[in-house]
């Protein structure tokens, strides 16, 4: 019996949990009147939700059962303005490991379609880790003098947040 669909369902839960964590981080920054950081993490939350929906669509297309999970409450309090970005980087690193593990499961089961599907996610994770690492460096430096410098950085470097055209389809994406 294939473990891959069950593992994809577990990843759906993780992606929804990541989305919730990013909403909590965005709300923290909104409360601190750091609008660019808030906007960045609201976009990240939507992106993670969309990743979950891409995984849902994959399972639907494969004729597998989809389990829409409940998720644990995210962390909502932070000791300083650096802690949320550090948490986000750790989350992206963990997700990268989880996606790589999914690809290993697909490979071990000779599920070439599943393995190929995950290649986009692996590339996306490489970019997410690099981007979050850079943001953490900027926020750490800015926190020592003026967090508005991190806001300026995001204002200059942020893109629209839309998924690239080669992204897998998301369930409900045509709605």
Q: What is the pLDDT of residues 28-70, one digit of tens each?
A: 999 999 999 999 999 999 999 999 999 999 999 999 999 998 9
Q: What is the pLDDT of residues 90-116, one digit of tens each?
A: 999 999 999 999 999 999 999 999 999
Residue 163 within a domain: no
Structural domain count, the chain: 1
Residue 171 within a domain: no
Q: Which runs of consecutive H residues, i.e. helices, occur in 32-168?
A: 35-62, 83-108, 112-143, 148-157
pTM of the complete model: 0.90
d(CA 130, CA 93): 10
Residue 88 maps to which CATH number?
1.20.1260.10
Residue 168 within a domain: no
Q: DSSP code of 119?
A: H
d(CA 131, CA 91): 13
Averaged pLDDT, 153-168? 72
Range of the domain at 13: 4-157
Q: Which residues contact 64 (CB under 8 A, 6 or more apart)?
A: 5, 8
- Which helix H or strand E contains 22, and what residues bound it? helix 4-31
């Amino acid at each position: 019996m294939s473990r891959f669909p069950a593992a994809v369902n577990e990843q759906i839960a993780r992606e929804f949990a990541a989305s919730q964590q990013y909403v909590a981080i965005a709300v923290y920054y909104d409360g601190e009147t750091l609008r660019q950081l808030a906007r960045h993490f609201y976009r990240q939350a939507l992106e993670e939700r969309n990743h979950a929906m891409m995984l849902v669509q994959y399972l639907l297309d494969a004729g597998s059962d989809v389990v829409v999970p409940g998720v644990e409450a995210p962390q909502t309090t932070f000791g300083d303005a650096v802690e949320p970005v550090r948490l986000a980087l750790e989350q992206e690193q963990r997700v990268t490991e989880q996606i790589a593990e999914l690809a290993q499961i697909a490979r071990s089961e000779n599920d070439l379609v599943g393995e190929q599907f995950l290649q986009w996610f692996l590339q996306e994770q490489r970019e997410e880790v690099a981007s979050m690492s850079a943001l953490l460096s900027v926020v750490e430096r800015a926190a020592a003098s003026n967090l508005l410098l991190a806001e300026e950085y995001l204002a200059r470097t942020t893109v629209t947040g839309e998924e690239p055209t080669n992204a897998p389809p998301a369930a409900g994406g045509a709605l």
